[in-house]
Amino acid sequence: MSTRRSILLLVVLLLLQLVALAVQTDASEGHGSLAEQTFLRAAAPFARAMTAVRDGFGVLGGEFRLWGQLRRENAVLRHQVDELRFDLLRLYRVQGEVERLEEATAYQGGHSGPFLIADVVYADTESWLRSLIVHVSGGTPQVDQPVVTPDGVVGRVIVVAGAYAKVQLITDRSASVGAMIERNRRQGLVEGGPSGELLLELVPLHEEVLSGDRVVTSGTDGIFPRGLVLGTVQSVTPSGGLFHHIEIDPAVNPQQVDQVYLLPTESPPETLRDSTGDASH
Amino acid sequence: MRVIRFILALAVCTLIQTAGLQITPLFARVVDVFLVLVLVWALPSSPLQAMLYGLVAGWTTDALAGLPFGTFGIADTLTAFTVAMVAQRLVIERGISRFGIFTAAALVQIGTLTLLARVFAAATDMPGLGWVALKAVTTGLLAALAVGLGGGIRRRWARARRDRGSRLRFG
């Protein structure tokens, strides 16, 4: 093939890809093209296999190390179980009161229903964009599903390919989550910072924000239910404008996550989202 | 056959990338194993073949990475084509020459990626100059080593076959 024809072919191929890229970026976010889903389906099993190998070695080595620790922990845990039994009794009483109050005010709770358990098979937390690939064994993930651990929010599903899903971390620079300071219920917007930290934006200077304040989801972004932990305030400095510059220590370290939960969520109707704008995108 | 070998090599690269990221999250900043594969395969290929190798390897990287799908596809296609064109015009015999060409190609890929990321993913973290230089050098070095080792193994294999053949003729 002549050089001129090769260059022509290259230009055509690059142009086609550029158009596909532009269309994809412009279209509804994150649903993933057929090519992306196909390549994710093909590549993710290898990542999963490597993770399984690592886990296998980890289990073997861990068995030896854990033997001594388990005996000590057992004694401590027995003591904690007694304490928790007492707490449980107290919580049953509180739950009864809450249910009676909910009934009285006809309030319907937020994130109820079954959640999906997913294994992290690939984590890229330091590259261009921060993301995870997870494998869901007992169900089908959906785009925009919140991803959490018992410690707090991890991110949201952006691409689904069969049992595999790509998750955008909340620490990613292009991610944002509706948030509030738990102590005074002041709402703001949490965004990913340049070094893996979180930034709480849009909190006016006259609001009191203290180091150590817990920041939770506000439920205003239409994706994350209210009350999930995002992190704790690390530092508060005046930004020079109308708002505080607030750095948050994320509740979840994505580098240490190996299993996550995908919460069920019911997004607001498209018409409402379109007319009000969506903070999470 | 060559295509099957390429797909197998791609699978191995996925395993290496996953393992590397499990060892250190900085792995993807230090080396691009998929680009190493593209460079090694593009060198002896025609520009058309190189483009296709670059496209498939780039899309595999895209599937795993967080940038909009197709970003690595474009960058790797362009890089593979450039390497194949250069290899057609120059006689690249020495390891140091290969290292130089591969490092320059890695810089082309990173430059293309940076440009595309600026256009299609505005909020992306751009890598620092130090990381860019390190990644280009590491990728270039690994690709040059892979080509050198591959050539050595192929020569040894060919010599062994020749020897066996000659023994059969005269024995």
Print pLDDT tens along chain B (171 aa): 788 999 999 999 999 988 888 888 888 888 899 999 999 999 999 999 999 999 999 999 988 887 788 889 999 999 999 999 999 888 777 888 899 999 999 999 999 988 888 888 765 667 788 888 999 999 999 999 999 888 888 888 888 888 776 665 554
- B10: closest chain A residue by CA: A43
Give tens-digit pLDDT for A158-201. 989 888 999 999 988 888 999 999 888 899 999 988 777 899 99
User: What percentage of chain B reaches a pLDDT higher than 70?
Assistant: 93
Q: CA B119, CA B121: separation in Å to the nearest integer? A: 6
Residue B150 domain-assigned (yes or no): yes
Residue B125 domain-assigned (yes or no): yes
Residue B123 domain-assigned (yes or no): yes
Q: Which domain holds residue B84?
A: 2-164
Give tens-digit pLDDT for A18-44. 888 877 766 555 556 777 778 888 888
Residue B170 domain-assigned (yes or no): no
Residue B94 domain-assigned (yes or no): yes
A130/B69 Cβ within 8 A: no
Residue B169 domain-assigned (yes or no): no
C-alpha radius of gyration, chain A, whole number: 23
Please state, as a whole number, how many other Cβ atoms lie within 10 Å of the Cβ of residue A75: 8
A-B Cβ pairs (cutoff 8 Å, strict) = 143
Structural domain tally of chain B?
A: 1
Helix (H) or strand (E) holding A158: strand A152-161
What value of ipTM does the predicted structure carry?
A: 0.74
A54 pLDDT band (50/70/90 cuts)? confident
Give tens-digit pLDDT for B7-26. 999 999 999 988 888 888 88
pLDDT at site A280: 43
Residue B18 domain-assigned (yes or no): yes
A281 pLDDT band (50/70/90 cuts)? very low
Q: CA B124, CA B39: separation in Å to the nearest integer? A: 26
B18/A10 Cβ within 8 A: no
- A20: closest chain B residue by CA: B70
Residue B52 domain-assigned (yes or no): yes
Region A99-126: what's the mean pLDDT? 74
Q: Is A18 on the interface with B (CB under 8 A)?
A: yes
Question: Is 0.90 topped by the overall pTM?
Answer: no
A129/B124 Cβ within 8 A: yes
Closest CB from A39, A50, A168 relative to B62:
A39
* Contact in structure between B68 and A23 (CB atoms under 8 Å): no
Please say if the pLDDT value at position A76 is more than 80: yes
A32/B69 Cβ within 8 A: yes
B120/A22 Cβ within 8 A: yes
- Nearest by Cα to B69 from A129, A156, A7, A141: A129
Mutation for testing the A interface, residue in B64, B86, B115, B132 having most A CBs under 10 Å? B64
Closest CB from B55, B62, B120 relative to A36:
B62
